[in-house]
């Protein structure tokens, strides 16, 4: 046991560290070019931050969090992603005071208590960007073009961009209801996870990995048919900006 790393973790050995540095340098350079500044938040946070920040009915919060009680009897969670902590830090440190648009990026270890045999690690590495304080569609387009540029810089070709919208608190309930109507006749044939998602978070019926569920979800209504005028306008502007930037 003393000569074995914990389940779901992996050493990065000296002969591979160069690859990691190459990737990390590329990320830092690219984010810098786009005006994103690095933020480093703690590896762990109060559990409530993720419960409220990610959403209590997501897989991450329901079954994948690496949570423990510390010696002061506080519930602590190793960060499963970095958005919630970045927003927490933005508010706590009043980063909004300097600028209307706060552009941040992060890179580091994240933790999820996942089944390692699915090819996933319990400690994994993630980079991401956050643009806070501005709802302009140009910002969405900028983040997407950063992601596309990153893949191109890595030498990947034939990149295909698929775009969707998650709507807003105004139009999402409409879509929720349409989904429930659509799934109502077939929900009994779906897996147990989906049965419990039906009431609590029907949008998640769309990303079940179960073959039978996937099949039943194939002809589900699309959110893009339920967007409110504002979201629809926003969604089309994002596409216009991307087209102008030469991204299909
Ligand atoms: Zn909307
Ligand atoms: Zn399912």
Please give the distance, rounded to the nearest whole angstrom, from the Cα atom of residue 162 to the centre of ligand 1: 20
Show the tokens assigned to 230: 């504002």
Residue 40's pLDDT band (boundaries 50, 70, 90)?
very high
Domain ranges of the chain: 14-134, 172-226
CA 178 – CA 184 distance, rounded (Å): 10
pLDDT, tens digit, 9 for 90 and up, residues 185-196: 999 999 999 999
Please give the distance, rounded to the nearest whole angstrom, from the Cα atom of residue 161 to the centre of ligand 2: 26
Q: How does the average pLDDT of the chain come out, rounded?
A: 93
Give the dihedral of Cα atoms 62, 67, 71, 73; nearest 10 deg: -10
pLDDT of residue 230 exceeding 80, the answer is: yes
Domain 14-134 class, CATH top level:
alpha beta
The H-assigned helical ranges of the chain are: 14-33, 47-54, 59-63, 83-92, 137-153, 172-183, 192-200, 211-217, 229-244
Residues with Cβ within 8 Å of 235's Cβ and at least 6 positions away in sequence, in order, are 137, 163, 165, 224, 227
pLDDT of residue 54 exceeding 90, the answer is: no
pLDDT, tens digit, 9 for 90 and up, residues 85-138: 999 999 999 999 988 999 999 999 999 997 777 778 999 999 999 999 999 999
**Which H or E element spans position 201?**
none
Question: Looking at the CA of 234, which ligand is closest?
Answer: 1
pLDDT of residue 150: 96
Residue 30's pLDDT band (boundaries 50, 70, 90)?
very high
pLDDT of residue 62 exceeding 90, the answer is: no
CA 92 – CA 100 distance, rounded (Å): 16
Residue 207's pLDDT band (boundaries 50, 70, 90)?
confident
Please give the distance, rounded to the nearest whole angstrom, from the Cα atom of residue 201 to the centre of ligand 2: 12
Please give the distance, rounded to the nearest whole angstrom, from the Cα atom of residue 164 to the centre of ligand 1: 13
Residue 38's pLDDT band (boundaries 50, 70, 90)?
very high
Task: Kindly report the number of other CB atoms within 10 A of residue 62's CB atom.
Answer: 15
Residues with CB under 5 A from ligand 2 (ion): 190-191, 194, 208, 210, 213
Please give the distance, rounded to the nearest whole angstrom, from the Cα atom of residue 136 to the centre of ligand 1: 14
Please give the distance, rounded to the nearest whole angstrom, from the Cα atom of residue 235 to the centre of ligand 1: 10
Please give the distance, rounded to the nearest whole angstrom, from the Cα atom of residue 211 to the centre of ligand 2: 8
pLDDT of residue 33: 97
């Amino acid at each position: 046991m003393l000569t074995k790393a914990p389940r779901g973790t992996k050493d990065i050995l000296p002969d591979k560290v160069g690859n990691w540095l190459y990737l990390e340098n590329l990320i830092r350079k690219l984010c810098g070019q786009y005006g994103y500044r690095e933020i480093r938040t703690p590896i762990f946070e109060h559990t409530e931050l993720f419960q409220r920040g990610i959403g209590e009915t997501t897989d991450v919060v329901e079954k994948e969090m690496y949570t423990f009680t510390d010696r002061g009897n506080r519930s602590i969670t190793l960060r499963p992603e970095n958005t919630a902590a970045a927003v927490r830090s933005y508010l706590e440190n009043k980063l909004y005071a300097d600028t209307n648009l706060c552009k941040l990026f992060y890179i580091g270890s994240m933790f999820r208590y996942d089944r390692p045999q699915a090819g996933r690690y319990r400690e994994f590495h993630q980079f991401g960007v956050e643009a806070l304080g501005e709802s302009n569609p140009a910002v969405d387009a900028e983040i997407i073009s950063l992601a596309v540029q990153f893949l191109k810089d890595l030498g990947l070709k034939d990149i295909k961009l698929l775009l969707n919208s998650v709507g807003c608190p105004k139009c999402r309930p409409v879509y929720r209801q349409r989904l429930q109507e659509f799934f109502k006749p077939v929900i009994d044939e779906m897996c147990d996870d989906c049965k419990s998602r039906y009431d609590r978070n029907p949008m998640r019926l769309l990303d079940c990995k179960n073959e039978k569920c996937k099949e039943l979800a194939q002809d589900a209504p699309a959110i893009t048919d339920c967007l409110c005028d504002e979201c629809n306008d926003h969604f089309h502007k994002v596409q216009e900006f991307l087209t102008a930037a030469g991204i299909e």
